[in-house]
Structure 1
Amino acid sequence: MKLQVSDVIGPALDWAVAKAAFNCSPTDVSDDICGTWYEGENVGGVYGWGPSTNWFQCGPLLERFRLGIYQAAKWAASADGTPNYSSSFDEESCGSTAPIAVCRAIVREKLGDVVDAPENVAAAVRQ
């Protein structure tokens, strides 16, 4: 099912970030793929993968993708790394929190404005 990045939140957004950043599902995100900030959490997959709500997971992604973030009425993130009032901050990469904006910017940069998600992921958006 096709999902608009600007509408994706929660577990569906976390799924999309795993797909965009690591080309895998959240259950396959591991220490080897992500780096040492997950060390010891869960062998065989990151326990509680949720960069859209967890700065310990989102922060390193922010650095890895060299994103710029900015707060006005909403948080915005830019894949070109410019934390300012530029036109690169648009509704597609905005969110009510900085981690949501960062995650949407990563997904948008790697997968585009619309992502093709499995039905179980799409169902999480409709809840």
Structure 2
Amino acid sequence: MQTEQSSSSEIKATTHNNIKRYKVTEATELVTVKTRELRGPAFNWAVARAIWARDIKIHTDLKISAEFAGTLHCACFRPMDNWDLCGEILQKFRLTIEPHDSQPAGLWRASMTRSEPVIVGVSATPCMAICKVLLAHYFGDTADVPAVLMRTTARG
């Protein structure tokens, strides 16, 4: 295993079995973003933080992997399309999910009623609504995320 530090000291790169992975370190440049504006890898990274991942890795292709209690959840951590993970989040954080009754049709509403005030997330899919509630609960209106994830989101 080889380790290298980027010249800007933002992200530590580790090579193992010819796969290069990036790990956020204390020196990583973070930027503050409105939680409702999180997309793609930044969204996935923030969800991993919100559900207490012990180790979050940013791969060179900007996929996120996360380790929980010593086991790797998956090599590509994408909670927005993973009903198994969102079902666990729903149960662990005691969230509710239901079809949203306002326009436009087809939206989903997730809520955390044990918080004061009640936190609500609305999205096109149940998983996205669950993740939005979780992010609002954990971070509030803004989240600090690695700048590299936001630069790529802005381009793509």
| 2:82 is the alignment partner of 1:54 | yes
Q: Which has the higher helix share?
A: 1
User: In 1, are the aligned partners of 2:119 and 2:137 still within 8 Å (CA)?
Assistant: no
**Counterpart of 2:80 in 1: which secondary structure?**
coil
TM-score if structure 2 supplies the norm length? 0.60
Q: What number of residue pairs does the alignment pair up? A: 112
Pair 1:31–1:78, CA change in 2 (3 A): same
1:19 corresponds to which residue? 49
2:22 corresponds to which residue? none
2:67 corresponds to which residue? 30
| 2:42 is the alignment partner of 1:9 | no
Post-superposition offset of 1:65: 0.8
Post-superposition offset of 1:52: 1.0
Letter aligned with residue 17 of structure 1: V
**Counterpart of 1:22 in 2: which secondary structure?**
coil
User: In 1, are the aligned partners of 2:46 and 2:135 still within 8 Å (CA)?
Assistant: yes
TM-score if structure 1 supplies the norm length? 0.72
User: In 1, are the aligned partners of 2:108 and 2:124 still within 8 Å (CA)?
Assistant: yes
2:113 corresponds to which residue? 80
User: In 1, are the aligned partners of 2:108 and 2:122 still within 8 Å (CA)?
Assistant: yes
2:137 to 74, 97, 109: 109
| More moved, 96-105 vs 1-10 | 1-10
Letter aligned with residue 52 of structure 2: F
Post-superposition offset of 1:101: 1.0
Q: Unaligned regions of 5+ residues in structure 1, if any?
A: 34-42, 82-86
| 2:101 is the alignment partner of 1:94 | no
Q: Unaligned regions of 5+ residues in structure 2, if any?
A: 1-30, 58-64
Q: Which has the higher strand share?
A: 2
User: In 1, are the aligned partners of 2:79 and 2:131 still within 8 Å (CA)?
Assistant: yes
Letter aligned with residue 76 of structure 1: R
Pair 1:76–1:3, CA change in 2 (3 A): farther
Letter aligned with residue 111 of structure 1: F
User: In 1, are the aligned partners of 2:110 and 2:122 still within 8 Å (CA)?
Assistant: yes
Pair 1:71–1:25, CA change in 2 (3 A): farther
Greater relative CO, 1 or 2 (CA 8 Å, sep 6+): 1
